[in-house]
Amino acid sequence: MEQVSSFSGMSARVRRLVGATVLTAALAWPVMAEECVGPPGVRPAEGAWDALMAEIEVMTSPDIVDFQMGEQVIYRMRDRSQTDMMDPIVEHLRDLKPEIEMIQGYFDRPPTRPVLVVESQLEDYNLPPAFVHCARRGEEHDVNWLDRPGVEAFPTGLCIMVVRTHTISGSAKLRYALSHEWMHTLQNDAYTPETMAQLWWAEGSAEWAAQVMNPGTAFRDHKITEFYAKQRRCDLTQHSYDAQPFFFWSEQAFSADWVVAMAMGGRRFTSDPAGVAQTLPPDRWMDWAIAQADRTVTMPDGRPLPAQLEAEPLEISDSCEARLEAAPLSVQLREVSLPEGAASRLRIEANDARVAIRKSGETDWQRLDPGTTFLDPPFETLELVAIMPSGRDMNVRLSMDNTDGGSCACHIGRWMEAPRAVAEDRMDGARDALAAAAQFLPPDKLAELREAQAKISGMNLEDKYHFRDETVELIAGDAGGDVSFRTRGPIINIRPGGGFSIEDPHVITSGDGERIEYFDYLHYGTWQVRDGILELDLESVRYRGVVEGPNSDGPQPIEGEGSSFTAASYIGGGGQWVTQCSAGQMTLLPKDERSRGPEKNAVLVRN
């Protein structure tokens, strides 16, 4: 079924009627599997409707066939050259009578639409192989106004079923097309044109009905394959004929009555995901998702589907985070991979999506509560199936949290650097920075630089910490002052998502009586793991505190944020590190100094 977009060149009377009717098609034009747009509707070529009416106008007078579909009267008009030939369309319909009447029985009110069946030989008008065109209930159809005897007597609410048999190859396909189209006459009887315009439901359920009436049919398998290709990124309302697996499942989970009655609520329950989501409670949408993941959805005759939902990989990256983003009411199946050696809890933030997981070796799905769930290790693999039962897009976030494993799972958390047993001179960074600066200073400034280099060369701070900013000790030491740190060692916060900070609040007192107290003093930046190497990239420093001196009127607040060139030059966190992890402890060995022995290690202890 496709909504009429335009029939150019028709009379004003016909245009008014067509605007209030629905054209329903049996076979869709090819759709790229990865397209994710609403079906465009039929746009017949200019003059198509007039050409069809002209064909009907020279056909035989309408006859009532010798059987009905329940309360539906069937009329037949043929090309005059075929009157002495067997009528395969009528014979197929006669054979389909029990199946069609079975489907009719699922409607609350017995369908009564009269149906006129005609064949068309039209070419080059962009018409589908078969379609149904119905007048509104209580109104006459366009054919009633043709200039020929008999047609004026057609009852109101007539549906025309047009079959272009020369475009349908084989008896089985013709029977399938008739089954599909007859379902549309039933839908037009029970639903308004506005509701019928929702192609995903009308076409998906018509395909279900045709499959029920034609067990063993396989030539529509490509539509089912298309469903699973499009579902990766399309919501349910953006499907059309390919939506049939949903109705296969609906019959299995509920009943055929439910399939037929699904859209009885009208347009607001079929036109967009938010409305469709209200037709089932969230747990039932989760049933639909799990049925796909478990491959328990079958064809109506019990055969396996020709295509199934396939799991896609979802890797928790070295930043310890991954996201699952998808359209509403689309079922997503992922095989989650954790970082090598991960031993942390896995945080799953569903954000209103419905999520179920299954660890390696398990057969049953564990349905997660909405919100945030933590999973404890160990597990080798993890399957995750999710659906967003609303009109909003799915956004599920997975992240590692506080671990003792390897790779990023080891790094995440709050750590304190332990002091080395043997102190060492940590002035290498300062010397390197001054040497680099010498290239850019004017000659009149070189004397000051040489003086600073000489001063540093005479110092030996015996610093026991890699992750502590030497500049504060240089400033204090130059004036004969002192530095008092508030924590035993620097606090390293390595967070999911690739961010980190180094806290080191302290108090500086100088020889001339100035005192600076930093409540917050931290460097921050980004981190990543590449080829087993942890790379820390310091970006800037942020501080907040008070300063007081001989000439100040009491403590004065100070705060600021700036470029961390100094920090990157002096602090031990800059550069690349080889990591070694054990329970509660992470050891960092500078990549370019790994051969120089353990005295170069920075040992972090979980805080």
Contacts of 79 (CB under 8 A, 6+ apart): 59, 60, 119, 121
Does 15 have pLDDT greater than 50?
A: no
- For the chain, give me the number of helices (H) and strands (E)? 16, 26
Give the pLDDT of residue 6: 34
pLDDT for the residue 216: 95
Average pLDDT over residues 324-343: 86
Task: Report residue 266's pLDDT band, with 50, 70 and 90 as the boundaries.
Answer: low
- According to the model, what pLDDT value does residue 477 have? 60
Amino acid identity of 560? G
Give me the pLDDT at residue 602, please: 85
The mean per-residue pLDDT over the stretch 199-226 comes to 92
pLDDT at 582 over 60: yes
Report pLDDT for 447.
81
Q: What is the mean pLDDT of residues 378-391?
A: 89
Model confidence band, residue 461 (pLDDT cutoffs 50, 70, 90): low
Question: What is the sign of the dihedral through the CA atoms of 327, 328, 329 and 334?
Answer: positive
Please say if the pLDDT value at position 34 is more than 50: no
Contacts of 74 (CB under 8 A, 6+ apart): 64, 65, 67, 68, 90, 93, 114, 115, 117
Q: Which long-range contacts (CB under 8 A, 24 or more apart) does 471-476 make?
A: 471/430, 471/566, 471/567, 471/570, 472/506, 472/508, 474/430, 475/508, 475/510, 476/508, 476/509, 476/510
If pLDDT is split at 50, 70 and 90, which confidence band does 159 have? Answer: very high
Q: Is the pLDDT of residue 397 over 90?
A: yes
The residue ranking higher by pLDDT, 127 or 580, is 127
Q: How confident is the model at residue 261 (pLDDT cuts 50, 70, 90)?
A: confident
Which pLDDT belongs to residue 115?
A: 97
Reply yes or no on whether the pLDDT at 473 is more than 50. yes
Are the CB atoms for 588 and 577 separated by under 8 Å?
Answer: yes
- The token pair at 236 is 């349910």
- Between 50-64, 324-338, 391-405, the lowest mean confidence (pLDDT) is in 391-405
CB atoms inside a 10 Å sphere around CB 255:
12
Q: Cβ(329)–Cβ(335) under 8 Å?
A: no
98 contacts 124 by C-beta, under 8 angstroms: no
Alpha helices in 395-457 (DSSP H): 407-411, 428-437, 443-457
Could you tell me what percent of the chain has a pLDDT over 90? Answer: 46
Q: Residue 556: count other Cβ atoms within 10 Å of its Cβ.
A: 11
| Helix, strand, or coil (residue 263) | helix
Nearest Cα residue to 145 out of 287, 17, 5, 321: 17
Cα 196 to Cα 236: distance, rounded to the nearest angstrom: 16
CA distance 251 to 298: 10
pLDDT over 70 at 16, yes or no: no
Task: Spell 64-74 as b/e; 16+ CB within 10 A means b.
Answer: ebeeebbebbb
Alpha carbons 237 and 239: distance in angstroms, whole number: 5
Mean pLDDT computed over 571-591: 77
Q: What is the pLDDT of residue 390?
A: 94
Q: Is residue 321 a contact partner of residue 496, using CB atoms and an 8 Å limit? A: yes
User: Going by C-beta distance under 8 Å and a sequence separation of 6 or more, which residues neighbour residue 490?
Assistant: 416, 417, 465, 467, 468, 502, 503, 504
Residue with tokens 């009447």: 101
pLDDT of residue 125: 87
Q: How far apart are CA 6 and CA 12, in angstroms?
A: 13
Query: So what's the pLDDT on residue 450?
Result: 80
Query: Taking 80 as the threshold, does the pLDDT of residue 142 lie above it?
Result: yes
The predicted structure's pLDDT at residue 586: 85
For residue 410, the Cα-to-chain-centroid distance in whole angstroms is 29
In tens, the pLDDT along 278-304 reads: 989 999 999 999 999 999 999 999 999
Domains of the chain: 12-294 (1.10.390), 312-403 (2.60.120.1050), 413-426+461-606 (no CATH)
The first and second tokens of residue 67, run together, are 């059987």
Nearest to 400 by CA among 529, 495, 491, 492: 495
Closest CA to 40 of 222, 180, 197, 161: 197
pLDDT number for residue 385 = 98
For range 467-482, the mean pLDDT: 69
pTM of the model: 0.72
pLDDT at 3: 34
Nearest to 27 by CA among 194, 203, 209, 192: 203
Average pLDDT, the chain: 82
Structure tokens at 131: 């379609």
- The predicted pLDDT at position 572 comes to 65
**Among 213-227, 242-256, 490-504, 564-578, where is mean pLDDT lowest?**
564-578
Contacts of 369 (CB under 8 A, 6+ apart): none
Higher pLDDT pick, 247 / 409 = 247
pLDDT of residue 192: 55
Most confident of 397-401, 486-490, 526-530: 486-490
Q: Is the pLDDT of residue 395 over 60?
A: yes
Alpha-carbon radius of gyration of the chain: 37
Q: Is the pLDDT of residue 496 over 60?
A: yes
